[in-house]
């Protein structure tokens, strides 16, 4: 009679694992990539530009941009076509230019040209959602929150830190278990790990520094999905090859 496979050891609750996870990621990413900025206003503009664009590319754009438009009033009164051309390399430049100018109009007319210091005020500005607001509050005003992008959401579920898919619910779930002083850095470390190791379609678990702390939720499903896809693609290729042979 064959011996049954030894069941995987049960992992501690999320609240107990999040500390060791953060410590290991901190050692792996002591300084994660970020946006270059001088003050809260420049950070706000840079974060809007960073949507679906790398921080590296944004950092190449912003020096000339801020030299041309140094204040929120300059952006509020700018020619939209000129702004579009300056930020074009960031992608989706028409929508970003529209949001940046409207956001700066809001800051000038409602907040004296200054960046609001509360999440409730920030999210009333065009182009500013909770994720953007938390980045600004954490980096510019030392009010750490949890920034939830696609990487943070995906890794949080794989790590069993939450089951939620809604970014706001993921944010509040992480606020419950991540110490306040580590929230901003924890988000950044998850983002870096999601880019480099725990990628969406084929996570590299064999080289992951937190693999023993991770229940790998959903990872087996990804592997099974890849196998099914290979089985489907192989017969299709064979059929195409046969068709070409018969047509000759």
Task: Give me the count of residues in the chain.
Answer: 248
| Contact (CB, 8 A) for 151 and 195 | yes
Predicted TM-score (pTM) of this structure: 0.76
Q: What percent of the chain has pLDDT over 70?
A: 85
What is the rounded distance in angstroms from the CA atom of residue 135 to the CA atom of residue 130? 9
pLDDT at 31: 72
pLDDT at 4: 43
- Catalytic pick from 88, 121, 149, 169? 149
pLDDT at 221: 73
Residue 228 pLDDT exceeds 90: no
pLDDT at 145: 87
Whether residue 131 lies in the annotated active site: yes
Backbone conformation region of residue 13, classed left if phi is above 0, alpha if psi is from -120 to 50, else beta: beta
The per-residue pLDDT for range 120-146, each reduced to its tens digit, is: 999 999 999 998 999 999 989 988 889
Mean pLDDT of the residues in the chain: 88
Alpha helices in the chain (DSSP H): 14-28, 40-49, 55-68, 72-76, 80-87, 93-111, 119-122, 130-140, 150-158, 167-177, 183-196, 219-247
Of the pLDDT bands very low, low, confident and very high (cuts 50, 70, 90), residue 3 is: very low
The per-residue pLDDT for range 94-108, each reduced to its tens digit, is: 999 999 999 999 999
Of the pLDDT bands very low, low, confident and very high (cuts 50, 70, 90), residue 6 is: very low
The per-residue pLDDT for range 33-81, each reduced to its tens digit, is: 678 999 999 999 999 999 889 889 999 999 999 999 999 999 999 999 9
Of the pLDDT bands very low, low, confident and very high (cuts 50, 70, 90), residue 161 is: very high
- Catalytic pick from 131, 169, 212, 244? 131
């Amino acid at each position: 009679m064959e011996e049954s496979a030894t069941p995987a050891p049960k992992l501690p609750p999320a609240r107990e694992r999040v500390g060791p996870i953060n410590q290991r990621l901190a050692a792996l990413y002591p300084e994660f990539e970020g946006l270059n900025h001088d003050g809260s206003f420049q950070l706000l503009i840079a974060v809007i530009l960073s949507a679906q664009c790398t921080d590296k590319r944004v950092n190449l754009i912003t020096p000339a941009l801020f030299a041309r438009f140094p204040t929120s009033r300059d952006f509020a009164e700018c020619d939209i076509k000129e702004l579009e051309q300056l930020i074009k390399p960031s992608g989706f430049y028409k929508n970003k230019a529209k949001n940046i100018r409207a956001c700066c109009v809001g800051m000038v007319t409602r907040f004296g040209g200054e960046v609001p210091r509360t999440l409730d005020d920030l999210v009333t500005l065009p182009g500013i959602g909770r994720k953007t607001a938390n980045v600004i509050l954490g980096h510019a005003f030392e009010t750490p929150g949890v920034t939830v992008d696609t990487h943070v959401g995906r890794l949080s579920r794989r790590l069993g830190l939450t089951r939620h898919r809604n970014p706001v619910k993921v944010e509040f779930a992480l606020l419950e278990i991540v110490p306040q002083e580590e929230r901003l850095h924890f988000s950044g470390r998850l983002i870096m790990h999601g880019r480099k190791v725990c990628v969406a379609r084929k996570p590299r678990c064999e080289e992951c520094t937190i693999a023993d702390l991770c229940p790998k939720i959903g990872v087996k499903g990804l592997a099974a999905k890849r196998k099914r896809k290979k089985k489907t693609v192989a017969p299709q290729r064979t059929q195409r090859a046969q068709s070409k042979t018969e047509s000759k």
